[in-house]
Copies of this chain bind each other. A is one copy, B any other.
Amino acid sequence: MSKHQKEITALKEHLGKHQLKCTRQRELILDAFLKQEHITAEAMYHQLAKKDPHLGLATIYRTLNLFCEAGLAQARHFGTQTQYDNVSHKGHHDHLICTDCGKIVEFENCDIERLQEEVAARNGFTIKTHRLELYGLCSRCRH
């Protein structure tokens, strides 16, 4: 029994609900993805080339996007590339960033999350993901 049974089941459920098929490539990519905290399509392409030299980059992109739709991954634009975060690896969180020393504090605030939902609903949107980053000075750098 795999350590990641919950995620494997979640994906299979998503596949079933959407008339999608369980392929060797999807299983291979899922297996590799669940071992990561976050990865780019390109990095996964090179990593999996050892196991299957014919696995196409387009398939990696398609499958990582599928994971996003199934709720297993979350895409984040980071610099010029897209990072696919493993949602199961760490819960959702946002960031406080010190612009002076670069210190990063992770936080989670349910009230903010709820207000975000309200704002979205008021504008007819359904939120899939979000990004909240607070930039400023940490206590040490303020003095």
Task: Point out residues on A near B: beta carbons under 8 Å.
Answer: 77, 96, 98-99, 105, 107, 109, 111-112, 115-116, 119-120, 123-139, 142
Contact = CB atoms under 8 A, between A and B. Distances in A.
SS of A interface (majority):
strand
Copies, count: 2
B112 A96 contact: no
A119 B113 CA distance: 13
A136 B69 CA distance: 12
A126 B130 contact: no
Given A112-B112, A112-B115, A137 B131 contact: no
Nearest to A99: B128
A112 B121 CA distance: 15
